[in-house]
């Protein structure tokens, strides 16, 4: 049971660290993504503090879900069991893939907005200066890419971990 908890804590910690680092970049690309698109939870305009706060709030629960699923994939049943340490490499690979997708799609969102192909939602446009709209789209696309690639990648990691247990 302790190893299950270690896996969940590893995933929560990994997700939170990823979220904070990710948000350190996106808060500096478009601070309005955090001050307009998110509720005023922290009462600050500091990109560093917003990134830390939202990096925790927006990712701990994703890490918890992945951790529970990964713990089951790694430990449940009669197959050989994997430890939290054995899951470090697949988790790091997942986070690196997420960062790559976030970077690529954030850049694409910016380019599409600059070329008037993609637009922020109307309720956001009304609160954003025109100069921030392309940067907002970069952040929005980067965040969506992180969530989506993390969700799909998490499923793949769980499947690979479960499969690895039958082929040591």
* Token digits of residue 151: 């969700």
* Token digits of residue 104: 């690529």
Predicted local confidence at residue 167, as pLDDT = 66
Residue with tokens 């706060």: 53
Residues of the chain below pLDDT 70? 167-168
Predicted local confidence at residue 124, as pLDDT = 84
Predicted local confidence at residue 48, as pLDDT = 97
Predicted local confidence at residue 87, as pLDDT = 98
pTM over 0.85: yes
Predicted local confidence at residue 31, as pLDDT = 95
**In terms of residue numbers, what domain contains 17?**
2-166
* Token digits of residue 107: 């850049």
Q: How far apart are CA 4 and CA 64, in angstroms?
A: 11
Predicted local confidence at residue 37, as pLDDT = 86
Q: How far apart are CA 139 and CA 86, in angstroms?
A: 33
Cα dihedral across residues 33, 34, 38, 40: positive or negative: negative
In contact, 153 and 63? CB cutoff 8 Å:
no
Predicted local confidence at residue 62, as pLDDT = 96
Query: What's the number of domains the chain is made of?
Result: 1
Predicted local confidence at residue 18, as pLDDT = 98
Helix (H, G, I), strand (E, B) or coil at 54: helix
Q: How far apart are CA 138 and CA 107, in angstroms?
A: 6
Predicted local confidence at residue 168, as pLDDT = 56
* Token digits of residue 135: 């940067």
């Amino acid at each position: 049971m302790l190893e299950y908890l270690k896996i969940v804590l590893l995933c929560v910690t990994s997700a939170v660290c990823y979220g904070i680092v990710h948000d350190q970049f996106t808060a500096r690309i478009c601070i309005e993504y955090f001050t307009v698109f998110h509720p005023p939870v922290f009462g600050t305009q500091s990109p560093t503090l917003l990134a830390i706060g939202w990096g925790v709030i927006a990712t701990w629960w994703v890490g918890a879900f992945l951790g529970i699923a990964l713990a089951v994939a790694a430990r449940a049943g009669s197959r050989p069991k994997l430890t939290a340490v054995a899951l470090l490499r697949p988790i790091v690979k997942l986070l690196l893939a997420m960062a790559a997708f976030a970077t690529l799609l954030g850049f694409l969102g910016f380019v599409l907005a600059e070329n008037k192909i993609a637009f922020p939602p109307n309720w956001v446009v009304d609160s954003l200066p025109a100069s921030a709209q392309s940067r907002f789209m970069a952040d929005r696309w980067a965040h969506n890419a992180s969530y989506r690639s993390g969700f799909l990648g998490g499923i793949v990691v769980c499947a690979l971990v479960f499969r690895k247990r039958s082929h040591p």
